[in-house]
Structure 1
């Protein structure tokens, strides 16, 4: 965000915001535990939750976005072609902005599905036997 919207006007035109290099370093530092957590999802969370059919679309969407973010982050670091780098940067930035919303969708959908499963059935409802009075 600082790269696109945080530039300051300097003596010779727009200049990089002084916080931008530090934010990039912080972004790279946070990447390490995030990748470990994503790897953990493939070992524990995804196999355990794959039977929850109502969560699959949101989970696959979240996994796809995370995969593209990882690939585009790698490309930003290692691809030298400036035209490809510009498109990769835009995709990485846009998906990064969307990630919290997709995560929230997956999380809230999981809460909703769990709440429906644990809700006690009311007496007299279809499929619930009534007790004799």
Structure 2
């Protein structure tokens, strides 16, 4: 079995929850609250971005925690047992997708903060939002695919 330890599970879901909530709330404040080309930003927007950035650092830390043991151990286990148990192939696919989505979300977040020229900012921003939401949707599916006792 390759289950996360209790603290890892709690820290991962708290981090993903903080990222998702701060990101979705920022989108709502930015695009829905006082929506209009000439309106001022909502006063909560900078605070939500600060929270999102702090949660992003926690997310990078958790990615490192998972990359140190959970990911390589899971890869070895599924390589060894792929023919014996088909659900492990699905877990490998969702795990690989989570790694790719997480990497692309981190890259797009970096680009938004440090690089994004004005003509690409909206495209990168919406790509970042879609990547984050896909990651949030896929994470519970990956956990639900874990083997039952005795597998």
The TM-score with structure 1 as length reference comes to: 0.76
2:31 alignment counterpart:
4
Runs of at least 5 residues in structure 2 that lack an aligned partner in the other structure: 1-26, 83-87
1:36 pairs with 61, 64, 69, which one? 61
Which gives a bigger RCO, structure 1 or 2 (Cα 8 Å, sep 6+)? Answer: 2
Which of the numbers 130, 138, 141 marks the counterpart of 1:94? 130
Task: Map residues 1-133 of structure 1 onto 2, 5 A cutoff.
Answer: 1=27, 2-7=29-34, 13-50=38-75, 51-52=77-78, 53=82, 54=88, 55-110=91-146, 114-115=147-148, 118=150
Which has the higher Rg, Structure 1 or Structure 2? Answer: 1
Q: Root-mean-square deviation (CA), in Å? A: 2.0
Moved over 4 A (4+): none
Normalized per residue, the structure richer in strand is: 1
Greater helix proportion: 2
Residue 72 of structure 1 and its aligned partner are, at CA, apart by 0.2
TM-score of the pair, normalised by structure 2: 0.67
98 and 6 in structure 1: CA distance in 2 versus 1, 3 angstrom threshold: farther
Mapped to 2, the partners of 1:93 and 1:80 lie a distance apart of 15
Query: Can you give the 5+ residue segments of structure 1 that lack an aligned partner in the other structure?
Result: 120-133
